[in-house]
Structure 1
Amino acid sequence: MIRVLLVDDDPLVRSALRLMLGGQQEIEVVGEAVDGQDALDRAAELSPDVVLMDIRMPRMDGLEATRALLARGGGTAPRVVVLTTFDADEYVVEALAAGADGFLLKDTPPAEIVAAVRKVVDGDPMLSPSVTRTLISRLRDGSGDGAGDGAGDDAAARAAAAAREAAARLSTLTEREMDVALAVGRGLSNAEVAGELYLSVPTVKTHVSRVFDKLGVTNRVQVAICVHDAGLD
């Protein structure tokens, strides 16, 4: 069974998600939390496999809670999926960079939410290639935020430093692991990577796991960011 924890300060949202997921085979809603702090407490108690996490909540928001959950590490951290209204809440990109496994819009069709829960447990990406590119662009593009030349110089310096760091991290990969990382950076699923590189899906999963370990990341979006920073996307 895939154990799911629902985190949202709106009881109607939690009820809808429970109704949506509760009748699915291999999915069990093991609990609910009303804010980020409650989520940390409930996750420690219930050990969920997946946390569906709202962002804007009282006491502790979903971004801080996501960071805290994933910081526990040790193989016990759940997969975190952010549930938000993307156009209104830019914090979602920070959550993904911090290690969340993806995001869903709150108006996502029920069947897609169910499929997403299963995908993240299997280690597959939740984001389409176009959405991945949009997220990476929003995360890394600070060109419009500066007020003058000084701000632009700072942004350029940060980009150069990020490029050097990303290149150094990617240099630890074998040739085949690099191929897999580049494919993941384009938003391909394990099955799509397997088809493109003429590998079996289990072999791809092994390579993806090694890429995660060597790059020090926890999800595919972070791999894509690393590839992007190195100028290889």
Structure 2
Amino acid sequence: MSGVGTLCLVFKGGTGNAPANSAVNPQLWFAQVDDSHTTIWAQFEGVNPNEEQVEINVRQAVFYPDQPGRNFITVRGFILQHAATPWAPPTAEQIGLIGTHWSKGWIIENNVITHSVCSGIALGKHGDQFDNTSADTAEGYVKTIERAHAFRIPWTKANIGHHIVRNNVIAFCEQAGIVGSLGAAFSTVEGNVIHDIHVRHLFTGAEMAGIKFHAAIDTVIRRNHIYRTTRGLWLDWMAQGTRVSGNL
């Protein structure tokens, strides 16, 4: 393959009879990239890639606004799959297979969201030139909060959050099923089935869970079914007024 690109997943066709542990121990691949070529090696046990359809994924997201502040969008009843999402700490822009990109009033419901390299749904912060520069320090996160308040769409109840995420199936993601730093405030997350999250342990860090939020202020998390995840629900800094009930 000629050229340089961002690659994250290789998918192969199959008969639908994959073994039950395929999510934990799938066939693997890796790539080498230089200035002019990207070369991929992949395992295709039992399948001839010259005869089957193979998808090489380069898209960073499936549904994600190009700018912050795209408010009051409803995404309902879709099958959303296969995104090369980047790993992101809470101090950086968090891009999911579907994400709100620092907005207000989204409804994400009755969707099937699967096979994201990192996060399925992202309700996280905006991006800026300071992303990934905090060196995992408390001071770095405090500065992130300060920049969120100073951003052109400031982090206030009037501008950010108030999302509804309900009745989705979210699976096969290697960071989080639903992630959100600052942007999940005042939201409702209910009735979702979340499974097979970070089961392959491809990454390390403190952002891995079925649901992982920073600043889940006045957020309602109820009646979600979370299983086969490295952690179920993780509420980090500033979980103020959060209500968690009826989850399994």
Structure-1-length-normalised TM-score? 0.29
Structure whose residues are more often helix by fraction:
1
Structure with the bigger percentage of strand: 2
